[in-house]
Structure 1
Amino acid sequence: MDRRRFLGGTALAGALLPLMGTGSVLAAQRGGRLLPLPLEKGDTVALVSPSAASSDQLSLQLAREAMEALGFKVRTGAHYGARYGHLAGTDAERAGDLNAMFGDRQVKAIVCVRGGSGAARLLPLLDYAAIRANPKVLLGYSDITALHCAIQAKTGLVTFHGPIGSGSWNRFNVDQFERLFFKRELMEYRNSVDTDDELVPRKNRTSTITGGTARGELVGGNLTVLTALAGSPYLPDFNGKILFLEDVDEAPYRVDRMLSTLKLMGALDRIAGFIFGECTGCTPGDGYGSLTLDQLFADYIAPLKIPAFRGAMIGHIREQFIVPVGGRVEMDADAGTFRLLEPVFAGS
């Protein structure tokens, strides 16, 4: 899911003011947030492709079978299997599928088939009034960060950063899904421990950047996609938020550039806490030398003197947390955990 060719350079930005939604009689408003309706087994979920095209029909079949195995009926976007270059249809087609599924009262959730690139092209074409009037679950990650950010900024709707339809639905991910969406638990996000026959655990380790606890609403997602929205009206407010980030296949010098963008636009100075997931394949390359991710966090995050940790199970990894974007949490940087403080579904 390399987005580099699509994203190119990122523009630096000034202040970004979110446009908060007016809400719906069908959903709860809590602190300016719009909550989606809860899910039940037997509900209809939609599969859409807002970003890159799927490379084969098997990916689409696996996404459908996974949703059915979770207990849902499945409806597919009219163009979810289309192709326009590397994209899953034209911008109008992909945006039309999203708008149609938000407007369809029988559809209770929207699951993105895959990420890749291209979701940001849809943001001016989305019907945010319809999204506010029909708040429902939206699930995906990576390039879907563009949708999470824009919908949060324009409507206040809580969306969900987590597995894509064609991704791995292993035991961990299914357990996360069922606990969050069906049991509607106030989740505690704590990395699973796997010693893997080692004297001390090596996998799923968290590392404290700055200790302490903080409370706030979650904002974030993929670092590359998020920073590419700088200067647009599609970024939510960062004031008092807990920023979570992840990425894949980005050299440290590029991560440096993106963290610099967040610093220059004032975002880092406004957050209350920082959680970094995994940066898969982000090791320094060959050559004269490179800053490490540890050094970047020391340069950009430690001076903020806010609770911060890295290593959360968020990102381009097989087992990943399902994170409510806009959900109110308390994070503990010493323990490397965060937990929901309030329900993220209407009527809970």
Structure 2
Amino acid sequence: MNPSRRQLLHFSAAATGVLAAAQPARAAARPLLAPRLRVGDTVGLVSPANATFEREPLKIAIESLQALGFKVKPGQHVAARRGPFAGTDAQRAADVNAMFADDSVAGILAMTGGSGCNRIVDKLDYRLIAAKPKFFGGFSDLTSLVNAIHRQTGLVAFHSPVAVSEWNDFSVQSFKSLVMNAEAAVLRNPVFKPADDLVAREERITTIRAGKAQGPLVGGNLTVLASLAGTPYFPDCRGAILFLEDINEYIYRIDRCLSTLRLTGALGQLAGVVLGRFTKCEPGDGYGSLTLDEVFDDYCLPLGVPVFRGAAIGHIKRKLTVPVGALAEMDADAGTIRLLAPAVA
């Protein structure tokens, strides 16, 4: 990197941090809520990210949504492909916009994650979305769209299973309680009882800094979220509870992304942090690595806010549905997130 470019990046990061710190505290406001989904509703199936390369996963996805009690309307380009993506940027964005515009569609779920959502985040019709609020859900690369929709419209969107996810009982019940039953639910890990061991070794919660905190939930996949830093689609972190997860990233990359969030000023504005699962995030090649424990301690402990790790959020089989923009209370000792009001109307 040449010196002038390095200086420019340094100045830009510093300026972003100063501007973020100078912002007033987040004003209390009621989020925009989508109507709850009901059995018999039509759910639009879209592919804003990766292509689906075989017919079988699409068939299974449709059958899964039908088993939840929904009718399914596939997007016009849900089975399209351009390179790794499910069609061109224009096609993928058009499918999302069309589903929000379609009055016969009650909610919208992404087919899969992967990559590509950042390419269309500025192509969504946010005025349309605000005028016709609907359930919108997905995780992983969908972190871009879920957070952008909330930031641009105030609509609570959902870090939820995608259509091709495993819809096991835990994932289904979490989804239903928030999205269909409109419960002000307590989000907690599944209870795991060891069959032949003295202690549980799965679904464990680690308290990094004790305490409780209240605020709107924001977050999702760490690397995707960090890629939005400095854009109008990055979440408002003032007084927020940030939840994070990731998969298949070397630990130094996790460190780099957290450093990005710190340099923007976002971490210093938080009320609390919930760390989900960092699946297969391991040391890379080289002279050595910090551990994830050390990285999380380095960035989270100086914040002076409650933090816990191990929430059932991320690239795992049994996953919680988390409403981005909903007001909640986290308890770092109990390892829970309690919604202060329903996340749908």
Q: TM-score, normalised by structure 2?
A: 0.91
2:47 aligns to what?
A: 49
1:131-146 superposed matches below 5 A: 131-146=129-144
1:20 aligns to what?
A: none
Paired with 1:130 and 1:274, the residues of 2 have a C-alpha distance of: 32
Paired with 2:160 and 2:344, the residues of 1 have a C-alpha distance of: 16
Paired with 2:148 and 2:181, the residues of 1 have a C-alpha distance of: 28
Amino acid in structure 1 at the alignment position of 2:34: P
Paired with 1:338 and 1:149, the residues of 2 have a C-alpha distance of: 18
Paired with 2:338 and 2:30, the residues of 1 have a C-alpha distance of: 20
Tell me the alpha carbon deviations over residues 225-282 of structure 1, each in whole angstroms, 9 at most, x when there is no partner: 0000112111121100000000000111000000000000000000100000000001
1:193-342 superposed matches below 5 A: 193-197=191-195, 198-342=197-341
Paired with 2:259 and 2:130, the residues of 1 have a C-alpha distance of: 33
2:93 aligns to what?
A: 95
Paired with 1:230 and 1:286, the residues of 2 have a C-alpha distance of: 27
For residue 83 of structure 1, the aligned residue among 81, 84, 89 is 81
Any idea what SS the aligned residue of 2:106 has?
strand
Q: CA shift at 1:121, angstroms?
A: 0.6
Gaps of 5+ in 2: 1-8, 22-27
For residue 61 of structure 2, the aligned residue among 60, 63, 66 is 63
Paired with 1:272 and 1:144, the residues of 2 have a C-alpha distance of: 24
Any idea what SS the aligned residue of 2:121 has?
helix
Instruction: Give aligned pairs, total.
Output: 325
1:152 aligns to what?
A: 150
Amino acid in structure 1 at the alignment position of 2:181: K
Please identify which structure carries the higher helix content: 2
Amino acid in structure 2 at the alignment position of 1:160: F
- In the alignment, is residue 123 of structure 1 matched against residue 121 of structure 2? yes
Amino acid in structure 2 at the alignment position of 1:338: I
Paired with 2:20 and 2:168, the residues of 1 have a C-alpha distance of: 38
1:344 aligns to what?
A: 343
Q: CA shift at 1:32, angstroms?
A: 4.4
Q: CA shift at 1:286, angstroms?
A: 4.8
Amino acid in structure 2 at the alignment position of 1:168: E
Contact 1:16–1:235 under 8 Å retained in 2? no
Paired with 2:298 and 2:252, the residues of 1 have a C-alpha distance of: 13
Contact 1:16–1:237 under 8 Å retained in 2? no
Tell me the alpha carbon deviations over residues 18-74 of structure 1, each in whole angstroms, 9 at most, x when there is no partner: xxxxxxxxxxxx824111111110000010000000121111111100011110111
Q: TM-score, normalised by structure 1?
A: 0.91
Paired with 1:135 and 1:115, the residues of 2 have a C-alpha distance of: 22
2:4 aligns to what?
A: none
Paired with 1:210 and 1:297, the residues of 2 have a C-alpha distance of: 11
Paired with 1:336 and 1:219, the residues of 2 have a C-alpha distance of: 17
Contact 2:20–2:266 under 8 Å retained in 1? no
Paired with 1:182 and 1:153, the residues of 2 have a C-alpha distance of: 23
1:172-183 superposed matches below 5 A: 172-183=170-181
Q: CA shift at 1:344, angstroms?
A: 1.3
Q: CA shift at 1:182, angstroms?
A: 2.4
Any idea what SS the aligned residue of 1:123 has?
coil
Amino acid in structure 1 at the alignment position of 2:325: G
